[in-house]
Structure 1
Amino acid sequence: MLVLSLFVTRPAIPAEPPPAAHIGSRLELLVDDWLIDSRRDLSFQLHRPVRAETVLQPEQPWEGTNLGHVSILRDGERYRMYYRGYHNPGFSWSENIVTCYAESRDGIHWIKPNLGLVEWEGSKDNNIITQGQRGAYLTPFRDPRPGVPQGQRYKSLAGNPPRAMISPDGIHWSVLRERPVLPKPRFGISFWDPRRKTFLAYVRAWRPDGNGGRLRSIALATSSDFLAWDDPQLLDFGAVPDAHLYWNTALPYFRAPHLYLGFPMRLVEYRDPETGAVRDWTDALFMVSRDGFRFQQYREAFVRPGLDAHNWQPHVNMLAYGIVPTGPSEISLFLTNAAGGKRHLQRLTLRTDGFVSLRASAREGEFVTKPVIFSGTQLLLNASTSAMGRLRVELQTADGKPIAGHQLDDCRELVGDSLALRVRWKRGADLSSLAGQPVRLRLQMRDADLFALQFR
């Protein structure tokens, strides 16, 4: 018996290109692979901020020695700072907790105004906004919705368990409702999300560690009216984290609000070899999300404790809530620091949009994006090269065919360091004829970092 195996060869059928993403003219940070279809010899590189000057330190008795839980809000031309003071050594939930206030015109030089609101040891000459548990851990935001009553223009969750707080000016605060809005003891950071048209709150939670124990973590709650909140859901980090996430500062990035950036304080427990006691070290992480719930977490530290031994202790290396611009090419974050033996707030600087880059070594690499639909007339890159480095860009059709006049060999080499390198081809930089239709970008890089791209 003769058995024949017959293999029929059919012409290859091209795969349908994926649906095009409508990015318009928004800024796209290269913090994840959402935009990327394929890449070769490139890697994502986390960039650590640079330590700058001390911007605030406790100097008054009511501020105490336990500076922490700092919140920074840029409000028009003014920068507002809210921070916890506690005048007794150590930490305890008591009426001694105060929320203090400072402000700045540039985010670098801060003053503590005399508010005259709260009496402290017989005098109201201080910068205290609230005193006691009910107003503790204030992290205000400005409600941007039209029609919001002026008395509720500023909002915050505060206290433990959290209550809804409101203010007409960011200084004078009252409770929107006496009953806590989240029944369990949780620290909550909240804001209005215009994309989802709802209030979001990131609160402390616990998750199983897979070994019968549990780890501190972060959960998300939502509300339509800032009073009725749904049950918080543990954030999705993919694999279960292997350390405590003690404090979270997740928020929409002000330059690209479709991205949620988080900077949780990671707490790592260890056993003291001399005493046998369980102690902990802390650092700060970076994480990013496209929907506010599923976060990609970079495992290496965004901020390390550093050389000073005083930073290798509990409850330091905590990033403040808020990212603000402090220069034409710089953004600032703020870190609770204990260098020198006394807690203070240190400013950290970072290149604008410079959290993560797609990096090419001296060996040339490249990536191709998924199909996108853009608006605008030109393409700008936030990028940095060495003297021998370069970037080149090719535009392709949705099915990956080079577009005449915008091929790789037509592109003028981009060399330098700028937040807005304009891409040019032999025919010029104008892309208006391609706006509104699906295209792919092919970027070739050598000894370069690409932080962000934007059509304008």
Structure 2
Amino acid sequence: MPLGFPFEIGSKLTGRWRYISLSRQIGGYCWGWLAAGLAFLVISQATRAEPIELGGRRELFTDDRLVEKQQNVDWRLCKPQDRGEVLAFDKPWEGAFAGYATVIPHDGKLSLYYRGLPVAGKDESDVEVTCYAESTDGVRWTKPELGLFEVDGSKRNNVLLAHAAPNSHNFSPFLDSNPAASKEARFKALAVAHGVDQRGLVAYISADGIHWEKLREAPVIVGGALDSQNVAFWSEAEGKYVAYYRVYVDDVRSAARVTSGDFINWSEPELMSYSDTNSTTPSDHLYITQTQPYFRAPHLYVSTVGRFVPNRRVVTDEQAQEIGVHPSYFGDVSDVMFMSSRGGAVYDRKFTDALIKPGIGLSNWVSRTNFPALNVVPSGPDEMSLYVQAGYGQPTHHLRRYAMRTDGFAAISASRKGGEVTTKPLTFDGSDLSLNFSTSAAGDVRVEIQDADGKPLPGYSLDDAVELVGNDIDGIYRWKGTASVKELAGQVVRLRFVLRDAELYSFQFR
């Protein structure tokens, strides 16, 4: 009688044969279930996610890519502190419509680049120039007389690009960190240009960031709206140049991304998508994305976005006259938001509220004011700075500095009752664990290191963890008897962060 003999036939037998038939049938089903179970285990093991390889890089809590479990914690977007005006756009060639600023740290100083435009309605004309200022501390800025171009009958000015319409409309430079970059092209830039058949972005190069020349006459990137600040950089993580530029999707201001190995030949564009909408249409008009590699974690791109809210009018006609704003520039409002990306065509928008809200006073509630400069830059041992335009379209137009804690874009936070997060499986290189954290006088942070299955490792359990109390950008974590994690380097582990009345901004194995 064959194995798994049909029960209907077997049931017609009697006595011992009926019993044998039923037993064989049940045995057949058991073998089937066992085989299925073994197959499931094999597939489960095969499809288990590979551990995240941290190496020695710093990780921030701008997204939840590393987090697998969380309990009683909040994800908090940190708010920069207004430190006041640092530079007035007060030269005759700068004026009320100056904009699209970029700040670049290099050679012990900060270089500031921005459009000069004293009158409305002259976009992409020869009235526009590209201006330059510099600072050694990020607070006091000077405008050197470069003597390069004659403006208003004199070369005594801080203009580094003129008579190059429309390139000065949104000239956006960067310091090229590509190890293969030549000295003559240490700085690079993109600027809008009029191609033969369509608009595009033309490439500039410079050895010193002051004297610029076109890499070639023809645009290197074509297509897109491009009527905004279009940004590029060398990506250490991706090993290529990356550029983000303005496009419209469903009549909403959005962004596209292209990449290049040589800054001349670029890939086909990809529309960026957004985690909060799961689509290529953002939930807000993103006037400028200001995407940049974060200087302490270059694999992470941070985006200090200029959000634009069209047709939302706050200022009345009478109030507009009082503050002196141009009649065409108080029908909309704008502020600063935050996004991040780890490469590819996706922006993570875990935080959809404002990073910087418009300030007190009607002058902050007009069109295209509050737009951020490109790049968050270090400005102290525990501080970084973001620069924001204020008073656009007004005689008082200027640049303000906002101070932020180093790594302090966002944090995981827990109350006095306590909370915790556990990471996904990961590997690391290094001998100690550095935390950027803050606690109250009564709060603390504890760290447990687990194996891949979530079991505490001997010597690194929560019982072994020493309470970390204080406020530090670079606090070395300790367990009873040791601060070294060298013996765990290369192993697959999980980190369990337990917080009480505390915030955790970043961590790094060093």
User: TM-score when scaled to structure 2?
Assistant: 0.83
Query: Is 1:145 aligned to residue 172 of structure 2?
Result: no
Question: Which residue identity is paired with 2:255?
Answer: I
Q: Which residue of 307, 322, 339 corresponds with 1:266?
A: 307
- The letter of the residue matching 1:229 is W
Which amino acid in the other structure matches residue 334 of structure 1? Y
Quote the residue 1:201 is aligned against: 243
Instruction: Tell me, yes or no, if structure 1 residue 94 matches structure 2 residue 125.
Output: yes
Query: Which digits, 9 at most, give the CA deviation of each residue in 1:163-183, with x for residues without a partner?
Result: 111112111111111122233
Please name the residue that 2:421 is paired with: 367
- State how far apart, in whole Å, the 2-side matches of 1:453 and 1:129 are: 41
Secondary structure at the aligned position of 2:468 is classed as coil
Summarize deviations over 1:63-108 as a string: whole Å, max 9, x none: 1221210000111212111011112245533110011001111222
Structure 2 partner of 1:354: 408
> Separation in 2 of the partners of 1:168 and 1:294?
33
**Which of 178, 190, 204 is the equivalent residue of 1:157?**
190
CA distance in 1 between counterparts of 2:100 and 2:294 reads: 19
Q: Which residue of 1 aligns with 2:92?
A: 61
1:286 to 2:338 alignment = yes
Residue pairs, 1:321-332, within 5 angstroms: 321-332=374-385
Q: Give the match for residue 220 of structure 2.
A: 181
CA distance, structure 1, for counterparts of residue 282 and residue 61 of structure 2: 23
Q: How far is 1:434 from its partner? A: 1.0
The one-letter code matched in structure 1 to 2:117 is Y
1:330-354 deviations in Å (ceiling 9; x for gaps): 0001000129962100011000000
Is the Cα–Cα contact under 8 Å of residues 236 and 299 in structure 2 kept in the other structure? no
Partner of 2:466: 412
State the percentage of identical aligned residues.
40
Q: How much does 1:272 deviate? A: 5.0
- Provide the C-alpha distance between the structure 1 equivalents of 2:430 and 2:83, rounded to a whole number of angstroms: 37
What's 1:227 paired with? 264
* Residues 420-429 or 243-252, more deviating: 420-429
Question: 2:413, 2:56 → 1: CA distance?
Answer: 23
Query: Does residue 373 of structure 2 align to residue 320 of structure 1?
Result: yes
1:311–1:367 distance in 2 versus 1, CA, 3 Å: same
Q: Secondary structure at the match of 2:172?
A: coil
Equivalence for 1:250: 291
Matched residue, 1:211? none
Supply the distance in 2 between the matched residues of 1:80 and 1:234 (Cα, whole angstroms).
Answer: 31
Question: Which residue identity does 2:207 align to in structure 1?
Answer: P
Structure 2 unaligned segments of length 5 or more: list them: 1-7, 12-25, 194-199, 318-327
TM-aligned CA distance change 1:428 to 1:386, over 3 Å: same
How many Å separate the matches in 2 of 1:147 and 1:197?
11
How big is the alpha-carbon RMSD for the aligned residues of Structure 1 and Structure 2? Answer: 2.6
Q: Is the 8 A contact 1:130 1:136 kept in 2?
A: no
The structure whose Rg is larger is 2
CA change 1:179–1:341 in 2 (3 A) is: same
Secondary structure, counterpart of 1:151 in structure 2: helix
Cα separation, partners in 2 of 1:341 and 1:292, compared to 1, 3 Å = farther
Q: Which has the higher contact order (CA 8 A, sep 6+)?
A: 1
2:69 is aligned with 1:38: yes
Q: Which amino acid aligns with 1:174?
A: E
Q: Deviations over 1:416-441 (max 9, x none)?
A: 11112221111221111111111111
Amino acid at match of 1:180: P
Give the secondary-structure state (helix, strand or coil) at the position aligned to 1:301. Answer: coil
Q: Which has the higher strand share?
A: 1
Contact 2:236 2:298 in 1 (8 A): no
**Paired position in structure 2 for 1:344:** 398
Q: Is the 8 A contact 2:96 2:395 kept in 1?
A: no
Using the TM superposition, give the Cα deviation of residue 290 of structure 1 relative to its aligned residue in structure 2, in angstroms.
1.1
**C-alpha distance in structure 2 between counterparts of 1:136 and 1:226, whole Å:** 21
**Matching residue's letter, 1:28:** E
TM-score normalised by structure 1 residue count: 0.92
Residue type at the aligned position of 2:205: I
Q: Distance in 1 between matches of 2:308 and 2:173?
A: 25
Answer 1 or 2: which has greater helix percent.
Answer: 2
Cα distance in 1, alignment partners of residues 433 and 313 from structure 2: 54
1:111 matched residue in structure 2? 142
User: Per-residue displacement from partner, 1:380-433 (whole Å, max 9, x unpaired)?
Assistant: 111111112111111111111111111101111111111122211112211111
For residue 296 of structure 1, what is the aligned residue in structure 2?
348
- Separation in structure 1 between the aligned mates of residue 50 and residue 427 of structure 2, nearest angstrom: 10
Structure 1 residues 56 and 439 mapped into 2: Cα distance closer, same or farther (>3 Å)? Answer: same
8 Å Cα contact 2:459/2:480 also seen in 1: yes
1:393 to 435, 447, 452: 447
Distance 1:293 1:89 in 2: 35
Q: Which residue of 2 aligns with 1:451?
A: 505
Which position in structure 1 is the counterpart of 2:456? Answer: 402
Aligned partners of 1:381 and 1:421 also within 8 Å: yes
- Displacement after TM superposition at 1:292 (Å): 4.4
1:261-310 Cα offsets, whole Å, 9 max, x none, are: 111211112365989x9932111110011124211122101111122211
Q: 1:410 to 1:13 in 2, by over 3 A?
A: farther
| 8 Å contact kept, 1:95–1:133 | yes
Is contact 1:369-1:440 (8 Å) kept?
yes
Once the two structures are overlaid, the 10-residue window that deviates more, 25-34 or 339-348, is 339-348
Task: Tell me the CA shift for residue 230 of structure 1.
Answer: 2.7
Cα distance in 1 between the residues matched to 2:386 and 2:105: 12
> Of 479, 482, 488, which aligns to 1:428?
482
